[in-house]
């Protein structure tokens, strides 16, 4: 699931990890989850698979606030973990979801969002099923539990053929571990090797932290079964056009991750260069909004030959505003997180680079802060197109009324924000930077275009 960026907030969904067949899997899984903390820090959970069955622990807050020795779990060589920001189901329910059936146990960790979860939930409840939350992941677990199919693999396939939306899943069903990615491949999922064991995670940065060797990405529509150390790959779902979320390259993923064979850092730096080519301006310096605008600002600086200055200091001991669940908390966090450097800014013309504008609340306050520091001009440059539409695939932008670009004309937005000028990277420029071509293939860009690849309630158009 995801929420909203540094300039008003777009928060990534969730992060998942599985450490399978590895000694000290508990500590390693927590380390891997720490590497995925940017994908959500409201809560985390871990499911430990041991000889006595499955033990599940859920905690609010950040992963490193917990010592592995304090979890009071039996030794385990297989662990499934999850960090989350709430997109559906609110902030009160963390994953992995656990179900105890008559003859087997089910664990599900989910990164994404089901677009028909409400419909399935209503059907399940009408059949007498009692659900404990509104989290869409629980729907998947119950569909598996209620499946009449015989094997764990068949039960999972049966369940997922009933759902629609984006999902990268890690599951424990009937004593076996599975990794599944939706047929569109909207959310990332990577496979690695660690000794004789396996690590699967939302991003390669988590594999790096565990010193696991990257093997490949889980393919769109793939169901990977892990049994007794063996990997069995199946493709049981109808093949769809690949639609990887392009915003993973713009903002969501860590810059040291590799997504679908492409360095996130390289993408963001090239995005910044494209932005400079499209919107050069007479200025004294380039200033990034930290941390999300840093790499794009570096690219802008190199292309424009303007010096990069870290004129906004960020307090890293304050949590990211876009991940805070309520507007009141987000607004308060802005002042705690940033401070403008008067020594660098006084009398200067500044190019302020950020990744996106969603609500615009943070950016508006930052611009006011720069004026107070004596800046003479503030030219805002955004390293993505205007976000005009909500995401239904795991990002917390449920209402179009919350999106500043959908409600304020472009010509009026700079006045609203208090900037001297404002420019958004074009969609063509984004594609040139990320894929080397202006052709809109292989990516989901619905937040910019409204072209939704998967049908869901409220979408203006579907493909």
| Residues annotated catalytic, as ranges | 14
92 is in an annotated binding site: no
Question: How far from each other are the two terminal CA atoms of the chain, in whole angstroms?
Answer: 22
Residue 438 backbone dihedrals phi, psi, to 5 degrees: -80, -5
245 is in an annotated binding site: yes
301 is in an annotated binding site: no
From CA 299, how far away is CA 282, in angstroms rounded? 17
Q: How far is CA 54 from CA 48, 98, 102, in A?
A: 6, 9, 14
442 is in an annotated binding site: no
b or e along 201-219 (b: 16 or more beta carbons within 10 Å of the residue's beta carbon)?
bbbbbbbbbbebeeeebbb
Three-class secondary structure of residue 274 per DSSP: helix
205 is in an annotated binding site: no
Question: Which stretches does DSSP call E strand in 6-128?
Answer: 9-12, 14-20, 43-50, 53-60, 78-84, 97-100, 105-114
Judge contact between 283 and 377, C-beta under 8 A: yes
**In terms of C-beta density within 10 A (0-12 exposed, 13-18 middle, 19 or more buried), how is residue 127 classed?**
exposed
**In terms of C-beta density within 10 A (0-12 exposed, 13-18 middle, 19 or more buried), how is residue 109 classed?**
buried
From CA 86, how far away is CA 71, in angstroms rounded? 23
Judge contact between 52 and 74, C-beta under 8 A: yes
* Helix (H), strand (E) at residue 160: helix 152-160
Token code pair at residue 341: 């450097």
Which parts are annotated binding residues? 245, 292, 354-355, 391, 444, 447
Q: Binding site membership for Mg(2+): which residues? A: 292, 354-355
The binding site for [4Fe-4S] cluster consists of 245, 391, 444, 447
């Amino acid at each position: 699931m995801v929420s909203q960026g540094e300039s008003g907030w777009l928060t990534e969904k969730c992060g998942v990890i599985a450490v399978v067949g590895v000694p000290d899997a508990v500590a390693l899984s927590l380390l891997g989850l720490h590497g995925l903390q940017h994908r959500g820090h409201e809560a985390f959970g871990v499911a430990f698979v041991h000889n006595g069955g499955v033990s599940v622990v859920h905690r609010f807050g950040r992963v490193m606030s917990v010592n592995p020795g304090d979890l009071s779990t039996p030794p385990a060589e297989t662990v499934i973990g999850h960090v989350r920001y709430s997109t559906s189901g609110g902030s009160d329910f963390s994953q992995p979801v656990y179900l105890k059936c008559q003859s087997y146990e089910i664990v599900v960790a989910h990164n994404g969002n089901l677009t028909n979860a409400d419909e399935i939930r209503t059907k399940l409840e009408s059949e007498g099923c009692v659900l404990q939350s509104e989290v869409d992941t629980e729907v998947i677990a119950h569909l598996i539990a209620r499946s009449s199919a015989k094997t764990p693999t068949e039960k999972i396939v049966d369940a997922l053929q009933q759902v629609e939306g984006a999902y990268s899943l890690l599951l424990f069903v009937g004593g076996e571990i599975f990794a599944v990615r939706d047929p569109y491949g909207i959310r990332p999922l990577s496979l690695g090797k660690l000794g004789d064991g396996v690590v699967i995670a939302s991003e390669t940065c988590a594999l790096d932290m565990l010193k696991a060797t990257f093997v490949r990405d889980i393919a769109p529509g793939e169901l990977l079964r892990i049994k007794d150390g063996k990997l069995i790959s199946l493709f049981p779902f109808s093949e769809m056009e690949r639609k990887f979320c392009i915003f993973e390259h713009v903002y969501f993923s860590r810059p040291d991750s590799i997504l679908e064979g492409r360095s996130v850092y390289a993408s963001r730096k090239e995005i910044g260069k494209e932005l400079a080519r499209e919107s050069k301006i007479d200025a004294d310096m380039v200033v990034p909004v930290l941390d999300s605008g840093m790499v794009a600002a570096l690219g802008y600086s190199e292309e424009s030959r303007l010096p990069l200055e870290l004129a906004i200091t960020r307090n890293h001991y304050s949590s990211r505003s876009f991940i805070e669940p309520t507007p009141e908390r987000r607004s308060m966090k802005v002042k705690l997180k940033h401070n403008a450097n008067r020594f660098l800014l006084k009398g200067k013309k500044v190019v302020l680079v950020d990744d996106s504008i969603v609500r615009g609340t943070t950016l508006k306050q930052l611009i006011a802060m720069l004026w107070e520091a004596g800046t003479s001009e503030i030219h805002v440059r955004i390293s993505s197109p205007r976000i005009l539409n909500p995401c239904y695939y795991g990002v917390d932008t449920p209402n179009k009324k919350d999106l500043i670009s959908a409600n304020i004309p472009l010509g009026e937005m700079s006045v609203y924000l208090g900037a001297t000028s404002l420019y958004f990277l074009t969609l063509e420029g984004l594609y040139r930077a990320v894929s080397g071509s202006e052709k809109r293939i292989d990516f989901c860009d619905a937040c910019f275009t409204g072209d939704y690849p998967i049908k869901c309630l409220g979408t203006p158009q579907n493909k």
